[in-house]
Amino acid sequence: MIDHPDRPYRPRRLRATPAMRRLVSETRLHPADLVLPMFVREGAAEPVPISSMPGVVQHSTDSLRRAIAGAAEAGIGGVMLFGVPEHKDAIGSGATDPDGILNVATRIAVAEAGDALVVQTDLCLDEFTDHGHCGVLDARGYVDNDATNLRYRDMAIAQAEAGSQLLGLSGMMDGQVAEVRSALDGAGFTNTPILGYAAKYASAFYGPFREAVQSSLEGDRRTYQLDPANRREGLREIDLDVAEGADVVMVKPAMSYLDVLADAAASSPVPVWAYQVSGEYAMIEAAAAHGWIDRRRAVEESVLGIRRAGADAVLTYWAVELAGWIR
Ligand code: PBG
């Protein structure tokens, strides 16, 4: 920077008018870069509110259909579906059942969405297991990595058969991307892409999600999700997922992990997405409800910050509302 005593550089010149600020803006939000996570509850006749996520519901199949139409209308890039089953068991049978709620919801969403947006599915067992873990347990109650991957292989085929257009592998088992890739290819689904939740941290910010999916988890996921202290290990997970064949990788949560996100964005050869999770949503909603922050500005700034740090797309519960503001 030129340091001239008589004519100091004045950065404020480029901030003086809205038109100038718009012209020099480095980062823009666009509806196509937003993905809406959605919950679908088996047996629900009406949408069921989620108290810790004001404005977010567990959908019935009918309200799902309407919400997909609304999401398409808003021009967002995609939706990520989560199922809330009526019955759970030790191996999460509902996940691989073609008539399981997530697979049913996927068929409905794909039929409604047409080519307007990308219908994605959460590929993980935690919504379907009675113990609430992301995998199956061994005799000592430890999450069995390789036995879980066998379940993920079957789950991947069930989801691909239901029409899912991007499988979101969120279970954090070692080798899960390679296993699912080989299962898909073996079943002829060579064109079904994989989103690897590569750097997924064991986070307190998933709190409200546990209500959203009526999780039965006791304890935590620290034997498989990343330690929030570890940046280098997050990048290692990104590299592994890319090497195993992930088409897109994810950093999750978003706002407390922007360093990992920026590093991943700088080095990844595939798109890097970030998931602004339930607790991040709940914090802003709660503060706004108290009148402590300006809700719209806080929402926009939070997602903008995630994009600025390097996310190519953002999963956010505000996707549709935010798209409306952008347009
Ligand atoms: C696992 C999964 C979780 C979330 C998305 N996928 C929960 C967890 O890992 O405990 C959390 C998303 C959120 O908090 O918004 N299927």
Residue nearest to atom 2 of ligand 1 (CA): 170
- Is residue 235 one of the residues assigned to a domain? yes
Residue 6: per-residue pLDDT: 78
H/E stretch holding 160 reads helix 145-162
200 is catalytic: yes
Residue 232: per-residue pLDDT: 98
Query: Does the Cβ of 273 fall within 6 Å of ligand 1?
Result: no
The SS3 assignment for 327 reads coil
Query: Does the Cβ of 124 fall within 6 Å of ligand 1?
Result: yes
State the distance from the centre of ligand 1 to the C-alpha of 53, rounded, in angstroms: 14
Distance of alpha carbon 177 from alpha carbon 65, whole angstroms: 30
Query: Does the Cβ of 206 fall within 6 Å of ligand 1?
Result: yes
- Is residue 197 one of the residues assigned to a domain? yes
- Which residues contact residue 153 at a Cβ distance below 8 angstroms, ignoring those fewer than 6 apart? 179, 180, 182, 183
- Is residue 2 one of the residues assigned to a domain? no
Q: Could you tell me the two tokens for 327? A: 């347009």
Instruction: Looking at the CA of residue 168, tell me the nearest atom of ligand 1.
Output: 6
88 is catalytic: no
State the distance from the centre of ligand 1 to the C-alpha of 7, rounded, in angstroms: 53
Residue nearest to atom 16 of ligand 1 (CA): 124
Which residue among 131, 151, 252, 307 is the active-site one?
Answer: 252
Residue nearest to atom 1 of ligand 1 (CA): 170
Instruction: Looking at the CA of residue 200, tell me the nearest atom of ligand 1.
Output: 9
- Which residues contact residue 235 at a Cβ distance below 8 angstroms, ignoring those fewer than 6 apart? 199, 260, 263, 264, 267
Whether residue 248 contacts residue 237, with contact meaning beta carbons closer than 8 Å, is answered with: no
**Tally of domains within the chain:** 1
Q: Which range marks the domain in which residue 70 is found?
A: 28-326
State the distance from the centre of ligand 1 to the C-alpha of 209, rounded, in angstroms: 6
Q: Which residues, listed in sequence order, are joined to residue 37 by a DSSP beta bridge?
A: 80
Residue nearest to atom 6 of ligand 1 (CA): 170
Residue 95: per-residue pLDDT: 98
Whether residue 311 contacts residue 251, with contact meaning beta carbons closer than 8 Å, is answered with: yes
**Which CATH number fits the domain that encloses residue 80?**
3.20.20.70
Residue nearest to atom 10 of ligand 1 (CA): 206
State the distance from the centre of ligand 1 to the C-alpha of 278, rounded, in angstroms: 8
- Is residue 88 one of the residues assigned to a domain? yes
Render each residue's pLDDT in the chain as its tens digit; 327 residues.
Answer: 556 667 889 999 999 999 999 999 999 999 999 999 999 999 999 999 999 999 999 999 999 999 999 999 999 999 999 999 999 999 999 999 999 999 999 999 999 999 999 999 999 999 999 999 999 999 999 999 999 999 999 999 999 999 999 999 999 999 999 999 999 999 999 999 999 999 999 999 999 999 899 998 988 999 999 999 999 999 999 999 999 999 999 999 999 999 999 999 999 999 999 999 999 999 999 999 999 999 999 999 999 999 999 999 999 999 999 999 998
State the distance from the centre of ligand 1 to the C-alpha of 45, rounded, in angstroms: 24
Q: Could you tell me the two tokens for 24? A: 């020099």
Query: Does the Cβ of 170 fall within 6 Å of ligand 1?
Result: yes
Residue 16: per-residue pLDDT: 98
State the distance from the centre of ligand 1 to the C-alpha of 68, rounded, in angstroms: 21
Pocket test for ligand 1, best of 39, 50, 143, 170 (most atoms within 8 A of CB): 170
DSSP state of 114: T
- Is residue 213 one of the residues assigned to a domain? yes
CA angle, 142 then 186 then 158, to 5°: 60
| Residue 222: Cβ within 10 Å count | 11
Query: Does the Cβ of 122 fall within 6 Å of ligand 1?
Result: yes
